[in-house]
Amino acid sequence: MDARGEAIEVRSALLRMRRSGLLQVAFGGLVAGASGAAGAPAGGGTRRFRITELTGTATEELRGLGIVTGTGLGGKTLATGRPYAVTDYSSSRAISHEYDAAVAVEGLHSVLAVPVVVHRRVRGVLYGALRQPFALGDRALNVALDAARELEQSLAVRDEAQRLLSFAQAPLAADPRAWEEVRAAHSELRALAVRIPDARLRQELLTACARLAAAGGPAAGREAAPAPAGPPAQLTPRELDVLSSVASGATNSAAAARLRLRPETVKSYLRSAMRKLGAHTRLEAVVAARRAGLLP
Per-residue pLDDT of the chain (296 residues; tens, 9 = 90+): 467 788 989 999 999 999 999 999 999 999 987 665 444 455 445 789 999 999 999 999 999 999 999 999 999 999 999 999 999 999 999 999 999 999 999 999 999 999 999 989 999 999 999 999 999 999 999 999 999 999 998 898 888 887 777 777 666 655 656 667 777 878 888 888 888 877 888 888 888 888 788 775 544 444 444 544 445 578 999 999 999 999 888 899 999 998 989 999 999 999 999 999 999 999 999 999 888 888 88
CA–CA gap between residue 148 and residue 29 (Å, rounded): 11
pTM of the model: 0.69
Q: Residues 151-154: contacts with CB within 8 Å, 24+ apart?
A: 151/9, 151/10, 151/12, 151/13, 151/116, 151/124, 151/126, 152/116, 152/117, 152/118, 152/123, 154/9, 154/12, 154/197
Q: Do 113 and 187 fall into the same domain?
A: no
Q: Are residues 44 and 81 in the same domain?
A: yes
Confidence (pLDDT) at 208: 82
Q: How many folded domains does the chain comprise?
A: 2
The CA distance from 117 to 92, in Å, is: 25
The alpha carbon of 186 is separated from its chain's Cα centroid by a whole number of angstroms, namely 17
Q: What is the pLDDT of residue 216?
A: 59
Same domain as 132, residue 16: yes
Phi and psi for 167 in degrees, rounded to 5?
A: -65, -45
One domain for residues 200 and 147? no
Q: Would 93 be classed as within a structural domain?
A: yes
For residues 227 and 213, give the distance between their C-alpha atoms in angstroms, rounded to a whole number. Answer: 15
Q: Is residue 61 part of a domain?
A: yes
